[in-house]
Amino acid sequence: MKKIRVSNKMTPLFGLLLACVLVMCVKMDASAANTQPTELKQTAAAATKVSISWKAPADSANNFNRYIVQCSKDNKVWVDKGYVGSDVTAATLIGMERGTSWYVRIKAMYYDATLKKYTVDGAWSEAIEVATIPYSVTGITQTGATKTSVTFSWPEANGANCYDVYVGTSYSNAKFVVRMTGRTLTVKGKKQGSAYYVKVVPVRMTAQKYSALGMESYGTVKTTPKSVTVSGESSWERGTKSIDFTWTSSNKLVDGYQVKIYNNKGKLVKSLNTKKTYYTYTKASSKYFYKIKVRPYITVDGKKKYGAWSKVGAALMQPQITGVTQEDEKAVISWTPVTGAAGYDIYAGAYPDVTSMTKIGEAGSKDTSFTTTAIGETKVASNKRVYFCVKATKKIKSKKSTSIASDPGFSN
């Protein structure tokens, strides 16, 4: 493919020919029918060059030996750019500025090397607009979010007159959404608590609908988050003032969590924001039980966008077993009451590890002992050691919370 330079030094418009200087001093041939090149089009674009192709005139094989290429900024004032042989139907114009447009036309001619002049002059093709690729978008910023939509914008890319936007759950699977001239877009129909990956491609589109595509830019956007799940068991060891609260989140790319902790009198004792999924409250008193609620947030355009509050979880102090009596066909477990407990779950097993134990029963809020005659299908016997644990329980609306298990108790 022949390369024809387009100089940036304007003389008077684009510059001097590097291939040759053409002297146009020929009359139009009377038999110029079917001498017009057709189907001139742009076939490629880069930062400083464009490629074109065309279809030869019907009689070019007999009457012409070269094509003349001209360029113009306004489709009025034309400047010769060079030539290619009559057996060529494509060329590349180089030396252009990035993100700009020109008009291009060609015609077939016969140059007589002996006479050093053109003896046959064909007709000009239809002029087309060509474009180099624009500069890239310098950043993508999320400006809005709902449960099911994301809004984002980007700065103007120098040389672009429109933009192609792609959105997906990863950069590799981003799908085309729209070609647009604006620079702010809302995409609906997305999942709550999800992250999406955005690709914006600046485009310089010509009058003939050729798209000179710039380099893509990437960004991440998020819908507002789903509520989190507060753990049903907060760690509060007997005799301490520290409660370890934890929660889980199914959201992607959450920026943080707002946490509120209350005592059972309804007093707010702690409010904070954290990026972690746990918090240790260090001023707990055995006179109370505590409630916690958490909501996640994302940051959009410098502001927090919150999800819904979690269900309220309760923190109860660890019970203490005060005694176990075990004899044939009966065992009695006793424990100290826990402030705020609505009941107690009792566990038993052959080993002093609550994870290997079986829940054998429940007691009421005012109970401090529990009697059992069997552990599962096995009757209690005085000569077989059994370990017991107790958990305090509390249900707030539909959410059940428990304390950590008491230290194991057994009959000596």
pLDDT of 23-42, one tens digit each? 333 334 434 447 899 999 99
pLDDT of 47-85, one tens digit each? Answer: 999 999 999 988 755 688 999 999 999 999 999 999 999
pLDDT of 119: 86
The superfamily (CATH) of domain 2-131 is Immunoglobulins (2.60.40.10)
Going by C-alpha positions, the residue among 387, 285, 376 that lies closest to residue 326 is 387
pLDDT of 33: 45
pLDDT of 296: 98
Q: Give the pair of three-digit tokens for residue 156.
A: 């103007």
pLDDT of 361-394, one tens digit each? Answer: 999 999 999 999 988 888 888 888 899 999 999 9
Share of the chain above pLDDT 90, in %: 81
Amino acid letter for position 288 = Y
- Pairing, β 141-145 against β 195-205: unpaired
pLDDT of 412: 67
Residue holding tokens 């109970």?
Answer: 367
The CATH class of the 229-315 domain is mainly beta
pLDDT of 62: 61
- Name the fold adopted by 321-402: Immunoglobulin-like (2.60.40)
Of 3.90.190.20, 3.50.30.50, 3.40.50.300, 2.60.40.10, which CATH number belongs to 141-222?
A: 2.60.40.10
Q: Which of 38-42, 198-202, 220-224, 377-381 has the lowest mean pLDDT?
A: 377-381
pLDDT of 1: 60
Domain spans in the chain, listed from the N-terminal domain onward: 2-131, 141-222, 229-315, 321-402
Residue holding tokens 């298990």?
Answer: 405
